[in-house]
A and B are shown apart, each in its own frame.
Chain A
Amino acid sequence: MNKFLKTTAAVAVMAIASMGMATSQSMAEGKLSVSVALDPGSWDPIDTFLVAWGAVGSNIFDGLTERDTNAKLHPGLATSWEVLDEGVRIRFKLREGVKFHNGEPFNAEAVKFTFDRLLGEIGAKGPQRANYTSVESVEIIDDYTVDFHLTQPDPVLLTKLAGYGAMIVPPKYITEKGEDYFNTHPVGTGPFSFVSYEPKVDLELKANPDYWGDVAKVSELEYRFISELTTAVAELQAGRLDIVEDLPISMLSVVKDDAKLDVVSTAGPTVYGLRFNTRDGITANKDVRKAIVMAVDRSTIIKSLLAGEAEEIASFQSSLSFGYDPELKPLPYNPEEAKKLLKAAGVAPGTEIQIDIRAGKPTFNEVVQAVGAYLQTVGLKAVIKPYENSVFLNDIVPQGKTGALFQQSWGGWTLDYDNTAYLLYHTGQKWNPYGTDAKLDAMLEEQRPMTDVAKREELLKNIAAYVADEALEMPLYGLKAIYGVNKRLEGFVPAPDNRVKLNTVSIKQ
């Protein structure tokens, strides 16, 4: 009951506060409620990789660069940049007149503090530092100019600067209040500022009237931690939530059938496929692999099992990814040709083929059932073998103990094909238990330090084409990012990576 009284009191205080705000600022009105699947526990940008953090943190913090909903890079807290010294120095001009939520000024010192912290002792305890190891140091040139010194050219760094770990944090605030306080009382430069946080329950934010970009159109923003999606959808239907992210395919019809709600989707970063055991058995033969890919009608699977909320892919990357080639087409659905290839390769009809998957993923499970049925039509007998998640990820795939086919999903947040291709195809990588292709290794190594953007993109496209030609995998689909949204919202733009900025959203009266 005590908690109830506290909540009531907090709501009352907030109601009064927002009334005060409404008179001074007629633009910002109303409260947005958004569900988040997991409480990250800390709002410090360097503590986490959880998409839950990204969804919230992107509205509190800003990075030097910013990625829009089409995955294109824009200036953020840096207004411009110059790549110097053959890629090992980048000079940033910083935005002037920006203040943190606590009133502290944003300047070169804040940038240096942020990266010293990330690359120093505190960052070493967290997972984010791993993405920024190419940064050697940050040098202050003047109040609004900094130089990033790199150990080696890092073509993905500008994208990474829009990532969680590179969000700029307030030096004075953290030094005075301490790390633990900052974890639960975040201060950034973003469109919303911190009000209150109750672990495992909710996080309340309010509009930042001094935001350097578009000032928020709602006065309050509440994130509620709801781990069960069915529950989140019930809250959405009851009108107590405005946005639910990552709607599962199985719940689309519930939301679509509700007159008050909309399903909004956009191309997402996560791709799904089945990879081949290229070392043993019939799938060691390239023609057999091609036959298996051609035996499966992927576009029908997308239409009928995924409600059209996915895109066909020809390589293991989404259409948003750097290195994506719209010209590269997937192998066509052609069961006759598949049969011919299988026959030529001497695969007897009725040969068993094992597909290893992760248990407890209902949608992908259905997709694999369909794949199995298609394989049946060309005379292969598919055996689907589900594994518990961590067994699959620790013991089966990296140890090379899979069947002929195994599930792979990949959601590289940097949306750069390098991040996927290198880890999936380079010899000796954890997620590459079977392949040892010197030519592919050479191509993967060659593009890594390239600073010539166009040349690197070309090479990435070549890698994708090579992998497709070798049929190292059966690319299935790229799942869209799907949101359930209350129709009372205006200006909601779905983001591919869960990082929806909510300053553009308003509430229809």
Chain B
Amino acid sequence: MAGFIVKRMLQAIFATLIVTLLVSYAIRLTGDPALMLTQGAGSITEADLARIREALGVNRPFLVQYFEFLRGMVTFDFGKSFLGGTSVGLLIKGALPSTLVLAFWSMLVSIMISIPLGITAAVHRNKMVDQVIRVFSLVGLSFPNFWLAIMLVLVFSITWNLLPPSGMVGSLSYIMPSVTMGIILTATNVRLVRTTMLETLNAQYIMVARAKGLSERKVLYKHALRNCAIPLITYLGLQFGGLLGGIVVIERVFNWPGMGTLAFDAVGARDYPVLQATIMVLSLMIILVNLAVDIIYGLVDPRIRTE
């Protein structure tokens, strides 16, 4: 197990390096931060721009800048934002918890909806209930997530004035972003739960469980669901990564002060240090979650543990 974890960690570090290298290089192709900073200026000369570039340190060769970023990473010094010189570490410290909390609630909403729905659909396979659930999940898959967000805001904030339309201000403000994200995830999760459940229900041990007279409830939730867990956990783990990506859009619509908003503003301002660090932290998160999924496997399934 230890060797396995070390190997995966090394892979993770390598993947992070590749991701940050690509992002750092790509953002530098899209424009000059000195120009962005002086956009509102009346009379800016080349000499002024050169002076600002030097102050920002972007006049040096790309690899020098990149290695400095890596060095900072090792010492947990992410540098300073080009916008106002705020410490990047501080910005991430403020934004990361907000994003994680939102991701957590979104996953929870999705699990709470998709497991009962998926099981119901599987049990009533090809009946009316199943068809309705499948149509709804298809609809859920098809519409864009920001559209759902805007509709929720229109109904719950503007028409009924029940929930704050944006920001992270009190527990009520968590509802719409997590529900939006949660519903988007639910669409695929319902289908996944339904399919794995169907496979499991055909297994012989289910027949045995039923034959020995267990209640249907016990059969479903004790025997069948536990055996569905492995594909579900794998999928949810991978989904968490995708979730962190999708959250950028949702965060922007709900003005959620998280990593997505941070990255979005950083792209707009060509704020290299903030963007590099945000992407690095997000990719590390995704890699770590995948690692965690592998480890949890062993805990859930004794067969893997003994191998």
Contact = CB atoms under 8 A, between A and B. Distances in A.
Interface of A: 1-4, 7-8, 38-44, 47-51, 124-127, 129-131, 156, 180, 183-184, 198-201, 224-228, 230-231, 234-235, 237-240, 389-390, 393-394, 411-414, 416, 419, 422-423
B146 to A, nearest CB: 9
Interface in B85-114: 85-86, 90-91, 94-95, 97-98, 101
B252 A227 contact: yes
Contacts, number: 153
B84 A47 contact: yes
Contacts of B86: 41-42, 183-184, 199
A240 B164 contact: yes
A206 B153 CA distance: 30
20 contacts: A2-B97, A7-B169, A38-B268, A38-B269, A40-B83, A49-B38, A49-B40, A50-B40, A180-B85, A200-B265, A201-B168, A224-B167, A224-B255, A234-B157, A237-B165, A238-B161, A393-B31, A413-B41, A413-B42, A414-B42
Given A3-B97, A47-B85, A394-B32, 10 more contacts: A38-B268, A49-B37, A129-B48, A131-B42, A184-B86, A200-B257, A226-B255, A231-B166, A390-B30, A413-B42
B255 A38 contact: no
Contacts of B255: 224-228, 231
A199 B37 contact: no
Contact of A201 (B38, B257, B265): B257
A237 B166 contact: no
Interface in B50-68: 51-52, 55
Contact of B94 (A40, A43, A200, A227): A200
B210 to A, nearest CB: 44
Contact of A200 (B35, B41, B261): B261
A306 to B, nearest CB: 22
Interface residues on B, range: 35 or more
Nearest to B166: A231
B170 A4 contact: yes
A130 B37 CA distance: 12
B158 interface: yes
Interface string B249-292: 00011110100011011001100000000000000000000000
B265 A38 contact: yes
A49 B255 CA distance: 23
B91 A200 contact: yes
Contacts of A47: 84-85
A199 B52 contact: no
Nearest 6 Cβ contacts at the A-B interface: A41-B84, A42-B84, A390-B31, A49-B40, A125-B55, A41-B83
Nearest to A44: B84
B85 A238 contact: no
A236 B34 CA distance: 33
A41 B165 CA distance: 24
Contact of A231 (B81, B85, B161, B165): B165
A227 B265 contact: yes
Contact of A199 (B91, B166, B269): B91
B40 A411 contact: yes
B75 interface: no
A127 B42 CA distance: 11
Contacts of A44: 84
Contacts of A394: 31-32, 35
A41 B265 CA distance: 11
A126 B38 CA distance: 9
B142 to A, nearest CB: 22
B138 interface: no
B150 interface: yes
A156 B40 CA distance: 16
B43 A131 contact: yes
- Interface centre among B40, B44, B262, by most chain A C-beta atoms within 10 angstroms, is B40
A200 B85 CA distance: 13
Contacts of A41: 81, 83-86
A40 B85 CA distance: 9
B165 A240 contact: yes
A320 to B, nearest CB: 14
Nearest to A7: B169
Given A180-B85, A231-B166, A131 B41 contact: yes
Contacts of A227: 252, 255, 261, 264-265, 268
A131 B150 CA distance: 42
Nearest to B38: A127
Nearest to A41: B84
A234 B31 contact: no
Nearest to B254: A231
